[in-house]
Amino acid sequence: MTEPVNTRRYDSSKRRAVAVERRRRIVDTAAQLFLANGYARTTTAEIAQSSDVSNDLIFRLFGSKRGILKEVMDYVIGGDAEDIAVLDRPEPEAVRQCSDQREQLQLFSIGITKQLARVAPYSALVQAAAAVEPEIEGLWADLNLRQRRTSMTTVAEWLADNGPLKDSKTVEDAAAILWTLTSSDVYLMLTNDWHWTTAQYQQWLLQMLLAALVPER
């Protein structure tokens, strides 16, 4: 009698895990090289070599160096590689759920300061690259104008849901204030040029937002 063939079920989950880890390694490596050498001077070949992968794989996964930079920015903005929208993450969700405007702004100031500490150096890098490389202009506009403005407008709506804003400001007015005060440019001017700590920036931001957006009690 013939013994049955012992077949093994193909373990695709392990292969997926390896692919995810490899992609994250490439993005981490690219992030370090972009900051150290600048976007223009960093080549895909250098990223591939430092990541221990082929240059062909880099292009298969990301399409171009700009594609790598976009994923680097997605990573640093979110703080991890999870495919979760920024405003759906726990800290912004806590701001949305809070029913007191002052507490909302306190939670927002804490969360956005943490994000700026990660993102600001890379935003400066993208902005500098956009000034000399047309292919990056669209990425910078999307990150700074569309995505940030949309996010700040949403936060302003959350504030307005809990009561009127100071001096009858509109949601659009509040969004403009939030967008300006939380820009990477302002953060870097205060922390780099004036040597403020992140705690000082956070406290200043909270005071400015309370003064501008919340009616006096």
pLDDT digits (tens, 9 = 90+) for 174-213: 999 999 999 999 999 999 999 999 999 999 999 999 999 9
The CATH fold of domain 13-83:
Tetracycline Repressor; domain 2 (1.10.357)
Contact 179, 149 (CB under 8 A): yes
The CATH fold of domain 84-217:
Tetracycline Repressor; domain 2 (1.10.357)
Quote the percentage of the chain above a pLDDT of 90. Answer: 74
pLDDT tens across 1-51, in order? Answer: 555 555 455 567 888 888 889 999 999 999 999 999 999 999 999 999 999
Rounded mean pLDDT of 68-86? 86
Domains of the chain, residue spans: 13-83, 84-217
**Dist. CA 125–CA 127, nearest whole Å:** 5
Q: Tokens 């490899």 — which residue?
A: 22
Contact 53, 22 (CB under 8 A): yes
Contact 135, 142 (CB under 8 A): no
Q: Do domains 13-83 and 84-217 have the same CATH topology?
A: yes
Closest CA to 56 of 67, 42, 45: 45
Non-local CB neighbours of 30 within 8 Å, separated by 6+ positions: 42, 47, 51, 68, 69, 72
Amino acid at the residue 214: V
Amino acid at the residue 145: L
